[in-house]
């Protein structure tokens, strides 16, 4: 194993097809042993980026490194990476054993070793005793596990996963998310995971790159991506976010003040890239907002009219219209009602509060 | 599907079957008729036309020529068709549409025209007419069939399988051998059978491009003048027919298991 800190590095990578640019100057440094996700809507360039790492596409421009070595023009069959395909791409004419053994046979591994490693791989994905079956005789979830075993049996430097859970039903998907996380911890291989499902990315990843229109907008750990989105797209794509637009009145090291028409000055976390007087957007998560009065000066307090109350079992969602015209959503967990809780009704005048530290100032 | 409501349907169906199979039935009857006149009532049952046919050296050599030409041209057409089908369905190259149109052209050009054209070409190139030139012509006219059958199969399975093989370290030749060829094997056999049949009963090109070594259709045509030998030809025709129908059924069955495998694969993916 070599000494590079990074398993995969992309340095200003571009991919142009005949009529459009799929990837526009993406730079990523993916650490050894990391569970790294590329998250974005379809057409954002995440799959093309993954296919470039696999070797099915070559970058039009930029540098691509695998464990420190430039691999931009190395063909797929000579790269020490393996891929789990969206629809598994199991070989229909080969049985499960031969599917999993394929990569080892290509490398002319001795027969006893192949048998041992295939058995171990099938045990690892909890699918023992299926060697003689054909892929068509297995369920979707089982095929998924075979695809994982077929890739992992080769002990690649990096495992690439292209929306591998997309074809599974909701329940199985949740199980497989945890299973994948367990597998990754066990084998210690770098996983690069492509998905359009934000919850999936948040659940499994050590770090996430949010991609949009061929660019990586933000690369951070899940908590930072969720709580400190840097662009409006990231805030909007991951979970639900309230946006309040206004003008940046002050922005020192400690806090920012945003002047909102019809509402007044609101405080938020400072943004070093913003300049005073600029039009900005404040982003606040619905669960950070409350209809309860909050003590202390580090809270914002805004009045509005309650327009809708939606009960969702564990949560209640309140929709409030502010005087600025913004419509915001507040999410409160349903616990046993405290004695001082006032029952609320649609049409009530309410005060919405949130801590300044939960509001981000976004430029785009 | 809607239920068919057409009172005359059984009648229509009976007429169709009669038109298709009555001539074949008549052929069979006269191949065992004890007499050389093709008229009812029949004279009695015999097998001596079949026995004469087997002893007829000229006829047997024509059968041999046909078999030789059909085997050679169908193998060549299947190999060329497979290569072209893989290129057309899996790779991008300049002039792809023109290449496909050119390969399918023999379906549209009348054999008579093609025959004359090839005759002139071979003469210009100073190549003697022989079974070789017939085999070349038959390869050309079988190619569209093999190409279309194999393209249909290749379109039916996921190109990601080839990527998966390469991802696992396989070179292209290895992928071809372990993945692509096994998956298209039933379709290749079906294509080969169709090409064999096309060549086996082809008359126009075989008579234009040949000299002194007639294939079976050419020989049969020549025998029409000799009334006393004609029942032998009828017996032969029955045998060829049985062979053709058998090959057709096998080829049909092979194409079905090919597409069934593709279907199963898709259903498997969809789960």
Q: How many residues does chain B have?
A: 271
Instruction: Verify whether the Cβ–Cβ distance A76 to B163 is below 8 Å.
Output: yes
CATH number of the domain at B52-270, out of 3.40.50.300, 1.10.3720.10, 3.90.550.10, 3.40.80.10?
Answer: 1.10.3720.10
Instruction: Please write the tens of the pLDDT for every residue from A146-166.
Output: 999 999 999 999 999 999 888
* DSSP secondary structure, A278-325, as one string: -EEEEEE-GGG-BSS---STTEEEEEEEEEEEEE-SSEEEEEEEETTS
Question: Per-residue pLDDT averaged across A189-203, rounded?
Answer: 93
pLDDT at B258 (0 to 100): 64
Instruction: Please write the tens of the pLDDT for every residue from B171-182.
Output: 999 999 999 999
Instruction: Verify whether the Cβ–Cβ distance A89 to B161 is below 8 Å.
Output: yes
Q: Any chain A CB within 8 A of the CB of B58?
A: no
Instruction: Please write the tens of the pLDDT for every residue from A226-248.
Output: 988 989 999 999 988 999 999 99
Question: Per-residue pLDDT averaged across B81-92, rounded?
Answer: 93
Instruction: Verify whether the Cβ–Cβ distance B163 to A77 is below 8 Å.
Output: no
Instruction: Please write the tens of the pLDDT for every residue from A97-118.
Output: 999 999 999 999 999 999 999 9
Instruction: Verify whether the Cβ–Cβ distance B269 to A102 is below 8 Å.
Output: no
Q: Any chain B CB within 8 A of the CB of A17?
A: no
ipTM over 0.90: no
pLDDT at B265 (0 to 100): 56
* CA dihedral of residues B59, B64, B65, B69 (deg, nearest 10): 140
Pairing outcome for strands A242-251 and A256-260? antiparallel
**Residues 6+ positions from B45 with CB-CB distance below 8 Å:** B32, B33, B34
Instruction: Verify whether the Cβ–Cβ distance A85 to B265 is below 8 Å.
Output: no
Instruction: Verify whether the Cβ–Cβ distance B158 to A150 is below 8 Å.
Output: no
Give pTM, 2 decimals: 0.81
How far does chain A reach from its first CA to its final CA, in angstroms? 42
Mutation target vs A (from B91, B153, B167; most A CBs, 10 A cutoff): B167
Sign of CA dihedral B59, B63, B68, B73: positive
Which residues of chain B from 157 to 196 reach within 8 Å of chain A, CB to CB? Answer: 157-158, 160-161, 163-171, 174, 178-179, 182-183
- Contact criterion met (CB below 8 Å) for B119 and B208: yes
Query: What is the CA angle A87-A93-A97, rounded to 5?
Result: 85
The Cα-based distances of B81 to B76, B151, B259 in angstroms read 8, 9, 18
Q: Which one of B160, B183, B261 has the shortest CB-CB distance to A85? A: B160
What phi and psi, each to the nearest 5 degrees, are found at residue B94?
-65, 140
């Amino acid at each position: 194993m070599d000494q590079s800190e990074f398993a995969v590095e992309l340095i200003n990578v571009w991919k142009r097809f005949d009529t459009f640019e799929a990837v526009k100057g993406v730079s990523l440094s993916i650490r050894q042993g990391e569970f790294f996700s590329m998250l974005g809507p379809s057409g954002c360039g995440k799959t093309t980026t993954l296919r470039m790492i696999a070797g099915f596409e070559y970058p039009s421009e930029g540098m691509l490194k695998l464990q420190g070595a430039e691999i931009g023009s190395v063909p797929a069959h000579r790269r020490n990476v393996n891929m789990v395909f969206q629809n598994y791409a199991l070989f229909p004419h080969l049985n499960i054993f031969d599917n999993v053994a394929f990569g080892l046979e290509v490398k002319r591994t001795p027969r006893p070793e192949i048998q041992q490693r295939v058995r171990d791989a099938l045990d690892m994905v909890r699918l023992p005793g299926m060697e003689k079956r054909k892929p068509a005789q297995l369920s979707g979830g089982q095929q998924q596990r075979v695809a994982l075993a077929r890739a992992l049996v080769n002990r690649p430097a990096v495992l690439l996963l292209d929306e591998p859970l997309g074809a599974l039903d909701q329940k199985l998907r949740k199980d497989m998310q945890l299973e994948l996380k367990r597998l990754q911890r066990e084998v210690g291989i770098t996983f690069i995971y492509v998905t359009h499902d934000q919850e999936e990315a948040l659940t499994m990843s050590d770090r996430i790159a949010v991609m949009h229109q061929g660019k990586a907008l933000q690369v951070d750990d899940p908590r930072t991506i969720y709580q400190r989105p840097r662009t409006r797209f990231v805030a909007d794509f991951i979970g639900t976010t309230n946006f309040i637009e206004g003008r940046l009145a002050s922005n020192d090291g400690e806090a920012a003040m945003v002047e909102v028409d019809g509402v007044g000055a609101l405080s938020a976390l400072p943004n070093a890239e913003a300049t005073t007087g600029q039009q900005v957007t404040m982003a606040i998560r619905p669960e950070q907002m409350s209809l309860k009065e909050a003590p202390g000066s580090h809270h914002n307090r805004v009045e509005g009219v309650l327009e809708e109350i939606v009960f969702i079992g564990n949560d209640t969602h309140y929709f409030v219209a502010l005087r600025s015209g913004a419509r915001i959503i507040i999410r409160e967990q349903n616990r046993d009602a405290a004695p001082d809780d006032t029952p609320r009704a649609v049409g009530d005048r309410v005060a919405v509060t949130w801590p300044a530290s939960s509001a981000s100032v976004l430029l785009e | 599907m809607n239920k068919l409501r057409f009172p005359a349907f059984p009648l229509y169906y009976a007429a169709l079957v009669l038109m298709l199979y009555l001539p074949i039935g008549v052929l069979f009857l006269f191949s065992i008729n004890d007499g050389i006149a093709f008229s009812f009532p029949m004279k009695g049952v015999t097998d001596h036309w079949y026995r004469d046919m087997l002893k007829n050296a000229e006829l047997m050599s024509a059968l041999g020529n046909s078999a030789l030409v059909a085997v050679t041209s169908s193998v060549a057409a299947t190999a060329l068709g497979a290569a072209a089908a893989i290129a057309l369905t899996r790779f991008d190259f300049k002039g792809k549409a023109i290449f496909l149109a050119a390969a399918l052209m023999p379906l549209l050009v009348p054999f008579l025209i093609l025959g004359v054209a090839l005759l002139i070409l071979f003469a210009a190139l100073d190549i003697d007419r022989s079974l070789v030139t017939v085999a070349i012509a038959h390869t050309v006219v079988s190619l569209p069939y093999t190409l279309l059958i194999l393209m249909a199969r290749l379109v039916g399975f996921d190109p990601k399988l080839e990527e998966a093989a390469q991802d696992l370290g396989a070179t292209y030749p290895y992928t071809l051998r372990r993945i692509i060829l096994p998956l298209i094997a039933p379709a290749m056999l079906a294509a080969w059978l169709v090409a064999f049949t096309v060549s086996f009963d082809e008359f126009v090109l075989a008579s234009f491009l040949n000299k002194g070594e007639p294939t079976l259709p050419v020989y049969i045509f020549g025998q029409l003048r000799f009334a006393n030998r004609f029942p032998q030809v009828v017996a032969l025709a029955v045998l060829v027919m049985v062979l053709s129908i058998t090959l057709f059924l096998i080829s049909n069955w092979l194409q079905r298991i090919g597409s069934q495998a593709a279907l199963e694969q898709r259903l498997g993916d969809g789960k």
